[in-house]
């Protein structure tokens, strides 16, 4: 009997369920449950917005306690551009992986980084706002555009492509 409701199975409905509305439910514990990254390479502190299949907004707080500042650069600490790109990719990973029912068995690998530009240095005390949107999505391939801003000013942007592979 069809009651006029959805034809989805409960597994499909759970996989398609939106991310919790409250930002506090997308804190570090939630991020750790989705991404495989850990210290010292976890570069997302909190997710502020997430529109499944469309976009994510996250933050990374940059502190002087980051191990990279021991050598980049002594007396003039600057957050490396390559880590800004990695932070965008991790935010994108949250967007792509959060809804996969078998995400523990998947990894995302970079396949390309295009049109990457660095506009201003990021230094200890800055809060990077990571904005990533889906340009093209297929189950095994995705193309994203990411932006890093600090206090509303563009610090970096890039178009990132990735492949989803089995672990």
Written as six digits, the tokens of 105 are 């068995």
Other Cβ atoms closer than 10 A to 154: 13
- Let me know: does 136 contact 142? Beta carbons within 8 Å: yes
Report the SS3 class of residue 93: helix
Report how far apart the first and last C-alpha atoms of the chain are (Å, whole number). Answer: 41
Beta strands 55-61; 127-138: pairing state: antiparallel
**Active site annotation includes 72:** yes
Q: Which of 37, 72, 98, 145 is catalytic?
A: 72
How many Å apart are CA 14 and CA 153, to the nearest integer?
38
* 43 Cβ contact list (under 8 Å, min separation 6): 37, 60, 83, 86, 87, 90
Catalytic residue list: 72
């Amino acid at each position: 009997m069809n009651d006029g409701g959805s034809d989805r199975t409960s597994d499909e409905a759970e996989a398609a369920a939106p991310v919790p509305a409250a930002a506090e439910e997308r804190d570090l514990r939630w991020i750790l449950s989705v991404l495989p990254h850990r210290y010292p390479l976890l570069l997302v502190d909190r997710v502020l917005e997430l529109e499944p299949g469309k976009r994510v907004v996250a933050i990374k707080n940059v502190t002087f306690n980051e191990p990279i500042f021991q050598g980049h650069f002594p007396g003039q600490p600057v957050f490396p551009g390559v880590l800004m790109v990695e932070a965008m990719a991790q935010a994108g990973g949250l967007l792509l992986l959060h809804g996969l029912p078998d995400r523990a068995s998947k990894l995302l690998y970079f396949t390309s980084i295009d049109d990457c530009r660095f506009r201003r240095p990021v230094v200890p005390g800055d809060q990077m706002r990571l904005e990533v949107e889906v340009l093209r999505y297929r189950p095994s391939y995705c193309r994203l555009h990411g932006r890093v801003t600090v206090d509303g000013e563009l610090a970096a942007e890039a178009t990132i492509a990735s492949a989803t592979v089995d672990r």
